[in-house]
Amino acid sequence: MEKMNICLVSLTIAPDSQDGAGKFFRGVFDYLRRQGHNVKLITGKWSIDLNDPDIIQLDLIPRRFLWAPQFILKAVKYINSHNFDIFHGNAPKGTLPIILSKKKKFITTIHDLGPFETSFTKIPIEKYLIKFATQKATIISTDTDFIKKEIKYYMPKVDLDKIYIHYVGIEEKFKPYPREAEILREKLNIVGPVLLYIGRIAFYKGVDDIIAAYKIAKKKVPNLNLVIGGKPDFKMERKYKEWKAKYKDIHFIGFVREQELPYYYTLGDIFITYSYASEGFGLTPIEAIACGTPVICSSMIAYKEILQDNAIFVPPKSPNQLAKEIVNLLNDESRSKSLVENAQSFIKRYTWNSVGRKLEKVYSKLL
């Protein structure tokens, strides 16, 4: 394929951020660069200096709403001073600078329609941003067929022919690491089975229900452990501090370095992700399965599309039922093993070699 000059724009990017959208675009960036394309990625700087000449990290004030004008103005300035064949925005916030730079042709990726599904904020700006991005984009990329159907439902004027489903890929490093997991177990002083959650600590992620289910399940499995990884967003900072002060038996490990993620996934006996709103894919459960850990997740449509028969699904906001499934799976070693083994051939569709080639074809259509 002919080499392209590509500009990616994403408010967050891994490993500086561990949100699914940021991890997805880091995967896109790494894949395209491996294929020999000239790729630049514009993003914000939140915690880590990535020290990559092809990643332009913009210094921002990491406070709610204050980052927006800085990110937009600096990104627009960079876009207007450089020439690229392809512009691709990650979610509406990553797409807005491309629109304001007045580029006529570009791609936007819409990961979910959370603001339409639930009241994430009292200010309706998120809805307007999604509508604006989808109307202006030449091509829309979505993570699942579920999101495509939601776009059709909530924004019937959007041309469905310009929507392409593009699954998220996982890296080859996601595989079992038993030795490293055992070192982690000793480091955390853990004895007994481990429930694991790694991801954003946001109000809709159901982490409070995971904690409640853990407390219930622990009555039947006294040596049960819960490990929670990830950083809280602005809304959850106070609640997160309260949890850490109240639940001394829970391992709150905070930010997990990218190279250690597979070790933590391998550590878990069960990986749990339990959102009750706004999930367009399910990257962390796929990564966990690749590392040999069975998954229990909420019965959201996107999760069922992505995981199919390769996970146990529990209705959201039902900690008692979640606890029951946790105990049942811990007591059924054969089921746990079969869930992981049966999934290995299935999750190959989510490798970057498979996913990346499809994205290159979408770029070719834009050209």
pLDDT tens for each residue of 143-178: 889 899 999 999 999 999 999 998 888 888 999 999
Which whole number is the average pLDDT over 125-133?
91
pLDDT of amino acid 46: 84
Q: Which two tokens stand for residue 84?
A: 């690229």
Do 104 and 252 lie in one domain? The reply is no
pLDDT of amino acid 21: 84
pLDDT of amino acid 65: 65
Q: What is the CATH number of the domain that holds 304?
A: 3.40.50.2000
Per-residue DSSP letter, 168: P
Lowest-confidence segment of 221-225, 252-256, 282-286, 326-330 by average pLDDT: 282-286
Do 289 and 164 lie in one domain? The reply is no
Instruction: Please choose, from the candidates 323, 317, 283, 324, the residue with its C-alpha nearest in 3D space to the C-alpha of residue 298.
Output: 317
Q: Which two tokens stand for residue 334?
A: 């054969």
- Which domain covers residue 266, as residue numbers? 178-349
* Tokens 């040999």, residue located: 292
At 341-350, the pLDDT tens digits run: 999 888 888 8
Which whole number is the average pLDDT over 87-109?
95
Who's near 187: CB < 8 A, 6+ residues apart? none
At 99-109, the pLDDT tens digits run: 999 898 999 99
Task: Let me know how long the chain is.
Answer: 367
Residue pair 21/10 in contact (Cβ under 8 Å)? The answer is yes
Do 157 and 200 lie in one domain? The reply is no
pLDDT of amino acid 206: 94
- Predicted confidence band at 66 (pLDDT cuts at 50, 70, 90)? confident
> Rounded CA gap, 298 and 312, in Å?
8
Do 13 and 106 lie in one domain? The reply is yes
Residue 74 has a CB neighbour count (10 Å cut-off) of: 17
pLDDT of amino acid 64: 63
pLDDT of amino acid 122: 57
Which one has a higher pLDDT value, 104 or 271?
271
Do 148 and 215 lie in one domain? The reply is no
Do 273 and 207 lie in one domain? The reply is yes
- Predicted confidence band at 120 (pLDDT cuts at 50, 70, 90)? low
Do 114 and 186 lie in one domain? The reply is no
Q: Which two tokens stand for residue 8?
A: 């990616």
Whether the pTM exceeds 0.85: the reply is: no
Residue pair 72/92 in contact (Cβ under 8 Å)? The answer is no
